Amino acid sequence: MFEQWLNSNFTHSLLLSPLMGIVFGALFAGLTKSADNQTPRTIIKTREVYKERVIYRNGNRSKSNNDDGGIVIAAGVGLLFIIWQYAVWAVEVHQYLSFTLFGVLSFCLTTTVISLFKGQFTSNEWWVYILFPLAFLSLSVYLLGEVKSRFDPELTPLAKEAGVYKFYFKSLSDYGRTFMITHVLGVACLTVLILTTTFVGVHYLSLMNQRTGGVMQGFWSFMVRATEVVSGRKGTVLSTFFGVLSFLLINEHIARWTSQ
């Protein structure tokens, strides 16, 4: 049994993902120059210096409105299909989420530790902005464990045999249907939470490390621009919202409330 577990692709991915995060975090942070007396100390000052050096280009966005009443029906049918497909591929979905989560968490932790030794934490506010996403990534590890433990693996062969309609309306009980809807929505919120907190963590780690110049400044500056969308209060609000919502959905609180 242990040998089968050790040789499985799932085990390899769980071992390889953190290792990759550690290697890339050590590589990028290790090649970054240490902070010196010329390095901006606070986040506000760092942003001012960064914006003076980088040119932003704003593009125009076009919006279109659709008043098609069939969207609601299409969304309902789409949700049923997603629920069925999730039940079929649940193990693989959990595996990919685990691989992504452990990879980014290892990268952020490694970069944080090396940045600490290089003197990049020049003010207390850096700790707040770095530890916040790390805390939510740690929460995501707990929530992913709840996702795995609360999903019944017996649903996978049942979903494969039944098809969309029969699986949802015939194979599941009333509470089972409510559970699957909230469970799938919880997994979707957890995915958004992982992506959002990853972007927040990478943004502030990049903003911190790009101050000192050197061979890696171009990389860190690019990462700051790529993750700018979740900077400031936006990232905090989104992470908190999806963190709370994921917790309520995945732990069946909403399923129980709606079934009473």
Is residue 189 one of the residues assigned to a domain?
yes
Please check whether residue 28 lies inside any domain of the structure.
Answer: no
Q: How many domains does the chain have?
A: 1
182 vs 168: CA distance, rounded Å:
14
pLDDT for the residue numbered 126: 86
Instruction: Give the Cα separation of 205 and 243 in Å (integer).
Output: 21
> How many CB atoms are located within 10 Å of the residue 44 CB?
10
Asked, for residue 177, whether it belongs to a domain, the answer is: yes
Q: Is residue 57 part of a domain?
A: no
CB atoms within 10 A of CB 85: 14
Distance, in Å, from the CA atom of 85 to the CA atom of 76, rounded to the nearest integer, reads: 14
Which two tokens mark 161?
A: 């045999």
CA angle (179, 245, 104) in 5-degree steps: 105
Total-model pTM:
0.79
Average of pLDDT values for 242-259?
A: 93
Q: How confident is the model over 110-141, as pLDDT tens digits?
A: 888 888 888 888 788 888 889 999 999 999 99
- The token pair at 5 is 């577990």
The per-residue pLDDT for range 163-199, each reduced to its tens digit, is 888 888 888 889 999 999 999 999 999 999 999 999 9
- Return the closest-CA partner of residue 91 out of 16, 160, 44, 45: 160
Tell me the mean pLDDT in the region 146-155: 92
Host domain of residue 231? 88-156+173-259
| Ranges 47-61, 92-106, 151-165, 219-233: which has the least confidence | 47-61
Asked if the model's pLDDT at residue 99 lies above 60, the reply is yes
Tell me whether residue 138 is in a domain. Answer: yes
Eight-state DSSP code of residue 210: G
Percent of the chain with pLDDT over 70: 72
Is 10 a domain residue?
no
CB atoms near residue 69 (< 10 Å) = 6
The answer to the question of residue 242 being in a domain is: yes
pLDDT value at residue 63: 44
Other Cβ atoms within 10 Å of 218 Cβ, number: 11
Give domain status of residue 142, yes or no. Answer: yes
